[in-house]
Amino acid sequence: MDIHGRSALVSGAAAGIGRATAVALAEKGAAKILLVDIDEAGLKQTAQLVEGAGTKAVIRVVDVTDSEALAKLFGDAEQDGGLDIVFNNAGILSGPPAFPDTPLKRIQLLIAINFTAVLEATWHAIQMMKRKGGGGVIINTSSTGGLNPYLSDAPYAATKAGVLMFSRSCGPLIETDGIRVNAVCPGVTNTPILAKTGGDKVADWLEPLLAQIKVLQPEDIADAVLGLIEDDTQSGEFVVVQNERIAETA
Ligand SMILES: NC(=O)c1ccc[n+]([C@@H]2O[C@H](COP(=O)([O-])OP(=O)(O)OC[C@H]3O[C@@H](n4cnc5c(N)ncnc54)[C@H](O)[C@@H]3O)[C@@H](O)[C@H]2O)c1
């Protein structure tokens, strides 16, 4: 899909990968981007960057776990001409204490944001794109953490594996409706999420890994997302953005 002149929605757009992708979409000439997050101040900063690249930015402060608010978000977008591109990217880690001592309430929130909301938003996007006709592209953020077993945040790994299989399973929609659903699996990326792994610091279990790898930048993930959007053959596919290893495993 040629991004120029298209309408897009990016969730988790107040920071990190979502912000970088919104800016990259704007730089490719997207006409309008709905910036979705719970962090209004961060959304305003992203909106400035998007507008600076010449694209209309619309801020929507929405908690993606609020099903009614999510339905309204897509309903409003449809009334306003629909969306060609949807990037379901908002996500959290479990944070401390590491699994299995993670509080159950935190695990429930993690599942609601990382998994349930991604499925619901994909469903809304598919229904909206089907009614409009002409197809569309949906990208969901998984993780390299969803590819391999990982005890310290097993619930996170499970949600990301779920998002990956869900997105892959939607692949045949390209044949029936011209809608392409794909996933991106970022490796460890330099965003505010890393500093939250241990509460207000990097988690103890993450420090040794950080010493062994080159941390990715959010723009690296945005590049991969744009590649999936632009390549009309990609449906039910996923791109893994790996960290380069800079030291041997101890
Ligand atoms: N940074 C990494 O190393 C890494 C690696 C693999 C996957 N990911 C995934 O990438 C995605 C983006 O993360 P990031 O690294 O940019 O982190 P981030 O913390 O910078 O961005 C996540 C955004 O999601 C928003 N968000 C959280 N809960 C929300 C909710 N209920 N409703 C709406 N918005 C909400 C946050 O406010 C934040 O702006 C996440 O799904 C994350 O799991 C990140």
Query: Please, which pLDDT band fits residue 59 given cuts at 50, 70 and 90?
Result: very high
Q: What percent of the chain has pLDDT over 90?
A: 92
Query: Token pair of 215, please?
Result: 């941390």
Instruction: Produce one character per residue of 6-40: b if its CB has 16 or more CB atoms within 10 Å, e if not.
Output: bbbbbbbbbbbbbbbbbbbbbbbebbbbbbbbbee
- Angle at which helices 218-230 and 16-27 pack, to 10 degrees? 50
Q: What percent of the chain has pLDDT over 70?
A: 99
pLDDT of residue 250 exceeding 80, the answer is: no
Q: In angstroms, rounded to a whole number, what is the distance separating the alpha carbons of residues 93 and 133?
A: 36
What confidence tens digit (pLDDT) does each residue in 66-90 have? 999 999 999 999 999 999 999 999 9
Kindly state the average pLDDT of the residues 185-203: 92
Q: In angstroms, rounded to a whole number, what is the distance separating the alpha carbons of residues 91 and 47?
A: 20
**Is the distance from the beta carbon of residue 14 to the nearest atom of ligand 1 less than 6 Å?**
yes
**3-state SS assignment for residue 34:** strand
8 A C-beta contact, residue 190 and residue 218: yes
Q: Which atom of ligand 1 is nearest to the CA of 64?
A: 32
pLDDT of residue 247 exceeding 90, the answer is: no
Site to probe by mutation for ligand 1, drawn from 60, 92, 190 as the one with most ligand atoms within 8 Å of Cβ, is 92
Q: Which residues pair with 137 in a beta bridge?
A: 85, 180
Residue nearest to ligand 1 atom 20, measured at CA: 16
Instruction: Kindly list the structural domains of the chain, giving each domain's residue range(s) and its CATH number in brackets, ordered by start.
Output: 7-245 (3.40.50.720)
Site to probe by mutation for ligand 1, drawn from 37, 202, 214 as the one with most ligand atoms within 8 Å of Cβ, is 37
Kindly state the average pLDDT of the residues 47-63: 98
Q: What's the whole-number average pLDDT of the chain?
A: 96
Q: Which residues are catalytic?
A: 156
- Model pLDDT, residue 228: 98
Give the strand pairing for 213-214 and 244-245.
antiparallel
What confidence tens digit (pLDDT) does each residue in 118-145 have? 999 999 999 999 999 999 999 999 999 9
Q: Which residues contact 127 (CB under 8 A, 6 or more apart)?
A: 74
**Is the distance from the beta carbon of residue 229 to the nearest atom of ligand 1 less than 6 Å?**
no
What φ, ψ does residue 157 adopt, rounded to 5°?
A: -55, -40
Question: How many Å lie between the centroid of ligand 1 and the Cα of residue 217?
Answer: 14
Query: Please, which pLDDT band fits residue 249 given cuts at 50, 70 and 90?
Result: low
Query: Please, which pLDDT band fits residue 188 given cuts at 50, 70 and 90?
Result: very high
